[in-house]
Structure 1
Amino acid sequence: MLYQELYILVTTFFKDTFKISDYGQTVIVKVSTSASARSEMRAGNQGVDVAVVNIFTETTKENETTISNAIRNAIKAQPSNFSGYDQQDRCDYYGCKKPNDQNDCDSGSLCECQEGLVRPNPQMLMCVALGPTCPETCNEQSKKQCLVKNSTSAVCICLPGYEENKGICQKCAFGYNGINCKDSFQLILTIVGTIAGIVILGMVITLIVSMRLKNKGKNGEEETLIEKDSQNLRLKETGFSNLGAEGSIFPKIRVNLPRDNQPENPYTRPGILPGPDY
């Protein structure tokens, strides 16, 4: 809301100042509280610096002198809103070198940029300051990257996963990663995984051994019971004399009958045997 009010106040001021047909528009470039801006406006007790660019048609007859005089006269008429005006040279605005007093850099893209400034695009009018850069050898092929710390300094360091050794970026040792190989997460994960694997393997081996010992104990008990049952079966009394039947589970029975009571053999009686049929 405050910026909108400021925008309306500034643009209206310049529109009323340049009551000519070749005036185009006023562009607000920067708003700050520093004293380096080109146009200063006061809102209450707080000073605000506004940098603007006034655009005119190519066929205008106005120049920097007539425009500056018109702005200063308008400020004198409104001292409550504006306190002063500082003119900026066109060469300074474009960031170009000023060859001489007669050349005001009206050629735009043809002027030479000041020290520390470059023109990113040949068709671009403005010369801008580029950030700090690293040497050309600081590239991906060398496993290096350029790290910009601030607006004035940059440092070339190895890519993550590499560390510098005598000026050469070498791959990190096993288990280490990150910038300058300071991240040991992989090593910790490998150690923990190995220990966990050993513990699990030991538990499995212990379980197998205990199950085998348990099964062996059961088999021994079964063999003992079978042997005892076999002995009991051989020694169990049957109620009969078991003479001559040692080692057998079936007893032999001896019966003493009188000779007179012995049954007659039917095959010993005469006339009983059948005759031959041939």
Structure 2
Amino acid sequence: MKYKVVLPVAGLGTRLLPATKEQPKEMLPIFAPDGRGGTCLKPLLQLVFEQLYSYGFREFVFVVGRGKRAVEDHFTPDAQFVEELERRGKTEHSRMVSEFYRMLSDSVLTWVNQPSPLGFGHAVLLTRHVVGNNPLVVQAGDTYIHSDGNRHISRVIEVFESTGADAVILLKRVADPRIYGVVEGRSIGGGVVEIEGVEEKPERPRSDLAIMPLYAFRDSIFRALEEVKPDKKGEIQLTDGIQKCIDWGGKVYGVELDAGYVMDIGNPMSYWEALQTSYRLASENKQ
């Protein structure tokens, strides 16, 4: 299948203010291997892109909003910058930047504007004319998920293609599901759950299976999101679109993340934890 990857990065990042007043939260750095046995810092969004590129995806749709110009600038190759690094003798830095630019040049990047932050589901819906009837992979731009050999991605894609599902979602069991989207369903073996219902940040969760922000969808998700009404904050939630697919009789499955790390930089404490986890993984050369 030919997938298009949707990366919503239009959120305001208010929980990380004032650091994110001018700098998009997705561009905040975490640690990564430098390719020579050491560590370096990379914007989290760059790591997300590189991981999806290494899996084999080549078409990316970035959903950006006001104040996100830094994202487009970073993802635009700059030959003069590389030349300046080489002139100054910064050969290792030049090598890392050049490798990133090689990936960009080998990919098709499309930019979609979300003028107002009207929700994760709204961001996905805005890409419908770019994605067309292709299957799509959606990953939040502020969360990096690590597993050996990118197993979490391959599992999601394998279940998506083998079942003919309308949607497949990455899941993880958590101690407090109230801050996540939560699913209810029945296990069908092999760490796969047939999902019967989803709910965004419930006060009384029906399970401990939380949604991690990696999804595979068919284009039916766009029709579902078009039918979703805004929530109390005026936002269109992706979970509501998924529930609409279920209500229509669509097949929706979840894949449990059995081993791996989820680095979410949505708030100061989770960002601090992401820095610690990424440093440990980078030092072990496991990212």
Give TM-score, length-normalised by structure 2: 0.21
Higher normalized strand content (fraction of residues):
2
Choose 1 or 2 for highest CA Rg. Answer: 1
Q: Answer 1 or 2: higher relative contact order, Cα 8 Å, separation at least 6.
A: 2
TM-score by length of 1: 0.21
